């Protein structure tokens, strides 16, 4: 409940008393970190990661890690930035869920854009999911308002910039 509501002090007290509470799963296989990440509770997320860093390796019943869940919200990506900027959690950047989707696949579906989210050379932008789609292909198949759509496209690697300019001219 503390992770759900974003209450840092109760979270800290619970973890100090028994760190095993960080690993308790709900019916969907989510732990407190997953819930805090999905609800975009940055303070709680930081606290859980600092006290139980290995819980970042835990996945839910659908194989999603905390970064997947943080990017599945249409809120400001505070938690996604907290996770991706933590150098010890870089292995989460390209981890696939049960459908083969990486956090970037999930981000390409969201309606929000932030120029720092997953804009790292360590993120594999060409990985395919089980539907044989890259995140780029998912992004281009969705309908977004033109400004957000253009900004998201500009997020991709420099080598794609000319292709994207051609697509913009053809699309608009």
List pLDDT tens digits, range 24-69: 999 999 999 999 999 999 999 999 999 999 999 999 999 999 999 9
List the CATH number of the domain containing 31.
Answer: 1.25.40.20
Q: How far apart are CA 123 and CA 126, in angstroms?
A: 9
Range of the domain at 98: 1-169
Q: How far apart are CA 65 and CA 104, in angstroms?
A: 12
**Structural domain total, the chain:** 1
Rounded to an integer, what distance in angstroms lies between the CA atom of residue 64 and that of residue 42? 18
Kindly report the pTM of this predicted structure: 0.79
Residue with tokens 């150098």: 87
Are the C-beta atoms of residues 122 and 90 closer than 8 Å to each other? Answer: yes
At 115-127, the pLDDT tens digits run 778 888 889 999 9
| 6-27 per-position pLDDT tens digit | 767 878 888 899 999 999 999 9
131 torsion bin: left (phi>0), alpha (psi -120 to 50), beta (else) = alpha
């Amino acid at each position: 409940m503390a992770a759900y509501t974003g209450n840092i002090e109760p979270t800290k007290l619970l973890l100090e008393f028994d760190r095993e509470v960080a690993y308790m799963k709900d019916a969907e296989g989510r732990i407190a970190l997953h819930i805090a990440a999905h609800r975009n509770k940055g303070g709680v997320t930081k606290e859980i990661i600092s006290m139980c860093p290995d819980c970042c390796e835990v996945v839910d019943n659908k194989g999603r890690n905390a970064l997947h869940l943080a990017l599945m919200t249409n809120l400001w990506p505070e938690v996604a930035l907290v996770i991706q900027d933590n150098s010890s959690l870089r292995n989460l950047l390209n981890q696939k869920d049960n459908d083969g989707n990486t956090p970037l696949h999930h981000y390409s579906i969201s309606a929000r854009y932030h120029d720092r989210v997953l804009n790292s050379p360590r993120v594999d932008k060409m990985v395919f999911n089980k539907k044989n789609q890259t995140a780029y292909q998912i992004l281009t198949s969705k309908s977004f308002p033109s400004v957000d759509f253009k900004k998201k496209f500009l997020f991709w690697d420099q080598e794609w910039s000319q292709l994207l300019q051609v697509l913009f001219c053809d699309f608009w």
